Structure 1
């Protein structure tokens, strides 16, 4: 990378980077060059999409970034369906909680299966096309022999030993926000982003967990789930791609497979119409 930057500086004849504390930042010339490079890359992608649209064929490779909590009940069925419908397509799946949309804008992934909790402001970058897939509420999870019938008021959980994700995560922030709205501050006994660990703690009766519905296998023994009463805590699951003027058959196929899997898993789903930024 250093050699490439040095060669580029030699070609343009001006400094592209300047010291900025312990790191470096772009100079004005560097920013101008980056803007032109972005337009060149966007034009190249538009041309690729236009040719693919004319051919009308799904390509051979795609990279999908997905949340761990969506793998079992959405991603895996979608990839299996793609293998049947488009056997020539190889999808590389990156399972991560971090930097999904940023990786999409950088062009390192083609499709993102992401989330946004409804109480948080929309921070989708420009140039990204979002297709809503599913509203996914958090369910109250307890040991099977400790469950009560019917919806649970969030305020009831003020006296429970809770297993919740860290407050630095989107889900942890959503739970804190909802509890504050309900009039209390939760005091979790177990803090972990590992949903399998949360379900284990609930199953053994050590804690009550709040877990997205899509992340729970309904056949898991020893647990009971219940919805939250009133205003649920829920996340929007969405598929996202870079916006292009011409539809790209490969990413369109991946989004369609994700949408079909979400619909099959949960009858109540969101409209398929994408939104653009």
Structure 2
């Protein structure tokens, strides 16, 4: 009989591209992973991996086995969810992956509420700019607070369930010209920013790609003066008058002194914040509690998700 732990190792190696990377992810030694994969190869009687430059790739038999492994692992999780649903209680551990721009206004309030409502639940939070949906499919995280920019192609891995939380537009941020902050009701044309000194995230990030694409739709390619994914740095440069920033509304503290914000009128850049989990037929009480807390925190600050026209 096949060992489910070895199947999960095979899936992780296929996703990471090497035994060393998979071992780091699994918090095991590379030798231990190699030993388990050798045992799996012995169980099935055929090679499952082959060298591919500096990485490894699945053989044809490995691809076939991985297809079945995905279904087996999904069935195991379904069984765990069904038992948890019968118990009807929130568990003791969960791992949440979230974007830095969501921590202050959504993640922190949600975790505070979870601590009050479910004191037995310890949530480990991974804060990173990089998309974590692959980590969700590999089981290293349980809930992802992610984003999708409406004008970019949508890519959601198979087996992932997405719950919309909030539509969150990017605002134009400039120096307020005084000690206080404010919101300008007058919209700004994105094309008018072509002459501004801009601070933008790197083009390798989702936000950087979204800004680049929107600017090109507005008729120009931005040549930023400053490039950083650090929103605190973006706001500092805007406050000093050195640059104009484009920052998600949720990431801006209204009490931040010395800045002024304005909406974009001609080519709005808007992201959908969502909570994602692995798709199961039966709701897991623990992940459901985390998503409910995230949804409540998002609702308290901004208008709920509305599909784009």
TM-score, normalised to structure 1, is 0.94
CA distance in 1: counterparts of 2:223 and 2:61, whole angstroms:
51
CA distance in 2: counterparts of 1:37 and 1:184, whole angstroms:
48
86, 96, 102: which one pairs with 2:118?
A: 86
Q: Do 2:130 and 2:205's aligned partners in 1 also have CA atoms closer than 8 Å? A: no
CA distance in 1: counterparts of 2:48 and 2:138, whole angstroms:
19
- Deviation (angstroms), 1:149: 5.7
Residue deviations 1:192-249 (CA, integer Å, cap 9, x gap): 1111111000011101100000111110111111111134111110000011011111
- Deviation (angstroms), 1:7: 1.8
CA distance in 2: counterparts of 1:13 and 1:191, whole angstroms:
52
CA distance in 2: counterparts of 1:59 and 1:142, whole angstroms:
45
Match of 2:232 in 1: 196
48, 51, 55: which one pairs with 2:83?
A: 51
Match of 2:100 in 1: 68
235, 244, 256: which one pairs with 2:280?
A: 244
- Deviation (angstroms), 1:99: 3.8
Please list, as runs of the form range in 1=range in 2, the aligned pairs for 1:148-159 lying within 5 A after superposition: 150-159=186-195
CA distance in 1: counterparts of 2:133 and 2:93, whole angstroms:
19
Match of 1:256 in 2: 292
Match of 2:154 in 1: 122
- Deviation (angstroms), 1:65: 0.5
> What SS does the aligned partner of 1:145 have?
coil
Q: Do 2:210 and 2:269's aligned partners in 1 also have CA atoms closer than 8 Å? A: yes
Are positions 1:96 and 2:128 aligned together?
A: yes
CA distance in 1: counterparts of 2:49 and 2:185, whole angstroms:
63
- Deviation (angstroms), 1:14: 1.6
Query: Structure 1's 248 and 149: CA in aligned 2 closer, same or farther, altered over 3 A?
Result: closer
CA distance in 1: counterparts of 2:43 and 2:223, whole angstroms:
59
Residue deviations 1:151-184 (CA, integer Å, cap 9, x gap): 1111221111111111221111111111111112
Moved more, 33-42 or 95-104: 33-42
Please list, as runs of the form range in 1=range in 2, the aligned pairs for 1:207-222 lying within 5 A after superposition: 207-222=243-258
Q: Do 2:189 and 2:267's aligned partners in 1 also have CA atoms closer than 8 Å? A: no
> What SS does the aligned partner of 2:290 have?
helix
Are positions 1:232 and 2:264 aligned together?
A: no
Q: Do 2:198 and 2:224's aligned partners in 1 also have CA atoms closer than 8 Å? A: yes
Moved more, 210-219 or 147-156: 147-156
Match of 2:259 in 1: 223
CA distance in 2: counterparts of 1:27 and 1:229, whole angstroms:
52
For the aligned residue pairs, the C-alpha RMSD in angstroms reads 1.6
> What SS does the aligned partner of 1:237 have?
strand
